Amino acid sequence: MLALALIVVGVVALYLYGTRTFKYWEKRGIKHDKPIPFFGNRWSIYSRTKSITQLAVELYWKYPKERLVGFYRTTVPELVIRDPKLVKQILVTDFSFFNRRGLNTHKSVVEPLLKNLFFVDGDVWKLLRQRITPAFTSGKLKAMFPLIVERAERLQNNAIKVPPTGGVLDAREIMARYTTDFIGAVGFGLDSDSLSDENSAFRKLGIKIFQFDVNQIVRQMLKEMFPETLKHVNVLNKIESDVFGIVRSIMQKRNYKPCGRNDFIDLLLECRNKGKMVGESIELTKPDGTPEQISIELSEALMVAQVFVFFAAGFETSASSTSYTLHELAHHPDVQRKAQEDIDRVLAKYDNKLCYDAINEMNYLRCAFKEGLRMFPSLGYLMRKCAHKYTFPDMDLTIDEGVTIVIPVQALHNDPQYFEDPEDFRPERFLTDFINPLTKDIYLPFGEGPRACIGERLGLMQSLAGLAAVLSRYTVEPAPNTPHPPTVDPTSNVVQSVIGGVPLLFRPRSK
């Protein structure tokens, strides 16, 4: 009897633990779906039947009259924001309350590869951002451009091999190989040559980073349920040694000194040579309320984490967005012709060679790419975590520290309130300022505010160069097996992906 009683007590205690926060939104009068013990409203994510983006889109449309919608990540209260004014408030105006990204499950114990500018929070984020930002100036980007041209030419000549009548290729894979080669060059200073070598080690590493297996899903789920108990469990352990090994060997060959390549590792070594990162804290204050002065060393481990996110985010996001843009251009031949005319006109001024200035002049191509990012943003959602108790303006709602905010970018980008006929691929939207002033606050392919993507201009540069390289030589058309729209992969994690790639018919253009 005692054993049975202990079991009953244990089960009840476990149940109470797994439901302890589930009155949070009810008490505040916020509409939400009924959560499941321990899983909250994320069972569809853990069972891999919906991505986070798809779940956010579903909640966005399920409560069309609400400014915000409640749900639970396991037992952590979260909010989906539907109101553009609140989006701007969170990302920009009241950033000091929402400076955390909220992707790490534990505030102070973060696994090595996630101590990067995208994932890390607090003072480490602030000082890293402050130190690394100068690496993305126009001058630095211009110095990198010859590396883009070299890879773009390989894309034209090596990756797209089709007969004069054309051939079907996976645009998603081709663009991933192009962006992998470029990021390999500017990030690691290596010639990965995945455009020629199908067995490129770098391409395999890129695939491995974004292929979450069941073991990783379970680890992530359990860390979210028991963040304190499992704070030392790593999710990226299967690639950690590979990434550390590659970056460490490159830095050792350079004797931990810049070698003049102007790649990202060189820039990080320059940053390290400047000494400790010093600045005002966003976490610690003196008794008089002013910020504490803090300093952090840019250690080898921190440098490896930055190279990791530069590689992972740099190739995957651009591959997703450029291949989707090609997909839409294939289904809209009139728009494609306009983009090609834009490319041809500009290249004619520069002896038919890609260069930094030429890419900046391809205005219609840029609009087509922005429209592709509107319809299918690589990052379909943004996350922030409340750093201090916060009261929403004009609302009788106060949330506590630790509540996570989800901004459903995919849903906002495709809401007819902000974009007329959002299902239409219409680059002309971006030729002029938005008519609806709220639209500026919800077009967020690179985020907004102090935590906006630091590599936005680099991402645009490599993406537009890749698209110009393809479209100057080839016309793309739907293949017999091309779904329209593509089927979103429900197992997508941070970056959106599609099932079956993006098969397109590539036809050489007549010279």
At residue 400's C-alpha, the angle toward residues 395 and 401, to 5°, is 130
Q: Cβ–Cβ contacts within 10 Å for residue 487, how many?
A: 9
Name the residue among 30, 91, 65 with its Cα closest to residue 381. Answer: 91
Q: Is the pLDDT of residue 263 over 70?
A: yes
Name the residue among 384, 380, 387, 382 with its Cα closest to residue 405. Answer: 384
Q: pLDDT at position 511, please?
A: 63
- Label residue 310 by pLDDT band (50, 70, 90): confident
Q: Taking residues 5-25, what's their average pLDDT?
A: 81
- Label residue 14 by pLDDT band (50, 70, 90): confident
CB pairs under 8 A, 24+ apart, for 158-167? 158/195, 158/196, 159/195, 159/196, 160/470, 160/473, 160/474, 160/506, 162/474, 162/506, 162/507, 162/508, 164/508, 165/507, 166/477, 166/505, 166/506, 166/507, 166/508, 167/505, 167/506
> 194: which residues sit within 8 A by CB, 6+ positions away?
177, 180, 181, 184, 200, 202, 203
Contact 493, 317 (CB under 8 A): no
Please state, in angstroms and rounded to a whole number, the distance separating the CA atoms of residues 9 and 401.
31
The tokens for 297 are: 């060393």
**Share above pLDDT 90 across residues of the chain, in percent, rounded to a whole number:** 50
- Label residue 49 by pLDDT band (50, 70, 90): very high
Please state, in angstroms and rounded to a whole number, the distance separating the CA atoms of residues 417 and 409.
14
Q: Is the pLDDT of residue 428 over 70?
A: yes
Architecture (CATH level 2) of domain 21-508 = Orthogonal Bundle (1.10)
Q: SS3 of 388, please?
A: coil
Identify the residue with better confidence: 510 or 1: 510
In order of 230, 415, 417, the CA distances from 222 in angstroms are 7, 35, 39
Mean model confidence pLDDT for the chain: 89
- pLDDT by residue (tens digit) across 169-215? 999 989 988 988 888 888 777 777 777 777 777 677 777 777 777 88
Identify the residue with better confidence: 315 or 20: 20
- pLDDT by residue (tens digit) across 465-483? 999 999 999 999 999 888 8
- pLDDT by residue (tens digit) across 323-348? 999 999 999 999 999 999 999 999 99
Residue 285: CA count within 13 A, CB half-sphere: 5
Q: Is the pLDDT of residue 390 over 70?
A: yes
Looking at residue 69, what DSSP letter applies? E
Paired sense of beta strands 76-81 and 404-407, if any:
parallel
Q: Is 386 annotated as a binding residue?
A: no
Q: Taking residues 491-502, what's their average pLDDT?
A: 88
| Paired strand residues for 160 | none
Helix axes 333-349, 300-331, angle to 10 degrees: 120
- pLDDT by residue (tens digit) across 400-423? 999 999 999 999 999 999 999 999
**Residue whose structure tokens are 């690691």:** 188
**Residue whose structure tokens are 């609302």:** 395
- pLDDT by residue (tens digit) across 110-140? 898 889 889 999 999 999 999 888 878 888 8
> 353: which residues sit within 8 A by CB, 6+ positions away?
149, 347
The tokens for 387 are: 């750093």
Cis peptide before 333 (omega within 30 of 0): no
- Label residue 154 by pLDDT band (50, 70, 90): confident
Identify the residue with better confidence: 86 or 187: 86
